[in-house]
Structure 1
Amino acid sequence: MKFNTIKRAGRSHFVDMGPIRLRQPFPTQHIEMIDPFVLLHHYGPYKISETNNPFDLGPHPHRGFEPVTFLIQGEQLHRDSLGNESVVKAGDVQWTTAGRGIIHAEGPTKEFVKNEGTLEGIQLWLNLPAEKKMIQPNYQHEKYEDFNVITSEDQKINIRIIAGELENTYGRIKTQTAVNAFMIDAKKDGEISIPYDKSHLGLLYLLNGKVIVNGVEALELDKNQLMEFQQDGEGISIKAEANSKLLFLSGEPIKEAVATYGPYVMNSQTELLEAMRDYQMGKMGFLPAN
């Protein structure tokens, strides 16, 4: 297999989002987005208790993209204006298609806060093409134990197929665009190659541990935590130098103008103004505060 060249490797710096301190590998000063991925947040690990609960996000709107949560540790309650209410647990994934508009709220469950625990997750914003920005909103919640898993020959790496396809094994999430999302758990010295479509832009994000990528460069927490790849090969390889957890993403670039403001991802400033107006007029539905 010809490996995709590493386009860049960078740190995932901390940013403050109100009371929440989290890592934001992109967007940054140097990376506007990695088409079709608009934003990646790595929140936690936070010690949650009744006196410390910064991650309780009340009702807020989205339009024009797909906000996705990969929950690593803890427990969150999701509610939305479509009437969905579900408890998302460690290893679960919630995949929201905001489309023309949805209002949702999420935060640790009351029981989790009362009993105290650690909360950690990934929030990903996946763009929608212009033709799908105003589709009907939708919500998918898939449980950790239900995902299909690929195991390396040495039995040291498990790849959970969230969305897309790997070695004719498919994800449970139904996607609006051509995209792969794999959660990788690697034990020390485990090795595996991950092929993916040449039309995709690929990236690898390290949550913890240390791996060697394509046999040449280390991906290590607080040093090179995010890698973006060129579209010049057939996939990538990883070898774990320590027990590690990674998120692999790839997608076909949409190659359209992107305009963002707050919780909206559209194609123009006019569309952003329309989104704000529609939210204020109640056209995205209603969700009461908890």
Structure 2
Amino acid sequence: MSARTILSVHPAYRDDIGDLVTRRPLPGPGVDHVGAFLFLNHHGPQTYPPDNRGLPFGPHPHRGFETVTFILEGELAHTDSAGHESVIRADGMQWMTAGRGIVHSEVSPAGFKRDGGPMEILQLWLNLPARLKMTAPRYIGLQGEGIPAIAADGATVNLIAGTWQGRQGPVESLTGTMLCWVAAQPDAAVTFEGLTGRDVFLYAARGNIEVARRQVPQFHLAQLSDGETVTITTAEPALFLFGHSAPIDEPIVAHGPFVMNSIEEIRQAFADYQAGKFGIAEIVEG
């Protein structure tokens, strides 16, 4: 089987949001998107003091894609216009399908704002094909204990969606996307197969990782060659996001919180939101 290698490595750039430390590897200089993987914000790591303002993501709309949020440290309170509410703790995640339109809020719970503490959150945007852009909104929130933690060679694969080593992730992706985050020890080696014809996403969130003896430093995104497999190794403790998805051979037109296939659809999304068709999400802080 042919093994993938690294074509290019792209650093995340700092784009802080107020007092929230934010790095954005995607989109960035040299890479607009990686197939269906459109956008990644890496918030933190940082420690909030007591009596802080918390996360700044009050009610805002989305249409045409999905958001996957990994809570590595801290807590996240979610509410949306489809009636979903949750507080996800460290090691948990949430997968929201915006579809035809949703308003959601992602803020810090009242206890976190009162007491402070460490915080690190990753949010990834996944494109939807035209046939699914107007699908009904959906939300899945999972605490860490609800995510399969699969032992690998010196690592733990936390499987969110798709399959790995015969195990199935708890989220059934509408597009057949495989997605996981991997916590690795020094000298770990994790191999993913079945990648032929797939768009592959790889981001080093903590520590440095390697593919075919080429390093992907912390806070860097890697673009890979074609191939059936990829093996990711580590010389130090590391944490990385990995996923793969079928190509979506359609135009991508993104503006603010909407991702559609044409500028006319973007204009319609703004009109529908302004007309109140997305509903309302109240801030619930838990």
TM over 0.5: yes
TM-score, with structure 1 as normaliser: 0.93
User: How far apart, CA to CA, are the structure 1 residues paired with 2:120 and 2:10?
Assistant: 21
Contact in 2 for aligned 1:58/1:105 (Cα 8 Å): yes
TM-superposed deviation, 1:18: 5.3
Runs of 4+ in structure 1 over 6 Å off:
none
Which of 206, 209, 212 in structure 2 is aligned with 1:208?
A: 206
TM-superposed deviation, 1:289: 4.4
2:218 paired with 1:221: yes
Output the amino acid matched with 1:219. Answer: V
> RMSD of the TM alignment (CA)?
1.6
> Partner of 1:28: helix, strand, or coil?
coil
Cα deviation, 1:121-148, whole Å, max 9, x if unaligned, reads 1111100000110011010112211222
Output the amino acid matched with 1:217. Answer: R
Output the amino acid matched with 1:254. Answer: I
User: How far apart, CA to CA, are the structure 2 residues paired with 1:9 and 1:209?
Assistant: 15
User: How far apart, CA to CA, are the structure 2 residues paired with 1:276 and 1:19?
Assistant: 29
Unpaired runs of at least 5, structure 1 = none
Output the amino acid matched with 1:188. Answer: P
Query: Which residue in 2 is equivalent to 1:258?
Result: 252
**Structure 1 residues 18 and 253: alpha-carbon distance in aligned structure 2, compared to 1, 3 A threshold:** farther
Query: Which residue in 2 is equivalent to 1:137?
Result: 137
TM-superposed deviation, 1:203: 2.1
Query: Which residue in 1 is equivalent to 2:242?
Result: 248
TM-superposed deviation, 1:54: 5.3
User: How far apart, CA to CA, are the structure 2 residues paired with 1:53 and 1:30?
Assistant: 34
> Partner of 1:159: helix, strand, or coil?
strand
Q: How many residues align?
A: 284
Alignment of 1:110-259 (within 5 A): 110-152=110-152, 154=153, 156-214=154-212, 216-221=213-218, 225-231=220-226, 233-259=227-253
TM-superposed deviation, 1:286: 1.3
Contact in 2 for aligned 1:201/1:230 (Cα 8 Å): no
Which of 257, 264, 268 in structure 1 is aligned with 2:262?
A: 268
User: How far apart, CA to CA, are the structure 1 residues paired with 2:56 and 2:16?
Assistant: 15
TM-superposed deviation, 1:262: 0.7
Contact in 1 for aligned 2:52/2:114 (Cα 8 Å): no
TM-superposed deviation, 1:150: 2.4
Cα deviation, 1:24-53, whole Å, max 9, x if unaligned, reads 111113111111011011111132235543
Output the amino acid matched with 1:235. Answer: T
User: How far apart, CA to CA, are the structure 2 residues paired with 1:189 and 1:19?
Assistant: 36
Output the amino acid matched with 1:226. Answer: L
Output the amino acid matched with 2:245. Answer: G
Contact in 2 for aligned 1:80/1:104 (Cα 8 Å): yes
Unpaired runs of at least 5, structure 2 = none
Contact in 2 for aligned 1:187/1:244 (Cα 8 Å): yes
Output the amino acid matched with 1:144. Answer: G
Query: Which residue in 2 is equivalent to 1:105?
Result: 105
Contact in 2 for aligned 1:78/1:87 (Cα 8 Å): yes
Contact in 2 for aligned 1:59/1:105 (Cα 8 Å): yes
Q: % of aligned pairs identical?
A: 35
User: How far apart, CA to CA, are the structure 2 residues paired with 1:76 and 1:149?
Assistant: 21
TM-score, with structure 2 as normaliser: 0.94
Contact in 1 for aligned 2:79/2:282 (Cα 8 Å): no
> Partner of 2:187: helix, strand, or coil?
coil
User: How far apart, CA to CA, are the structure 1 residues paired with 2:157 and 2:194?
Assistant: 14
Contact in 2 for aligned 1:202/1:230 (Cα 8 Å): no
Output the amino acid matched with 2:194. Answer: Y
Contact in 2 for aligned 1:163/1:174 (Cα 8 Å): yes
Query: Which residue in 2 is equivalent to 1:11?
Result: 11
> Partner of 2:15: helix, strand, or coil?
strand
> Partner of 1:16: helix, strand, or coil?
coil
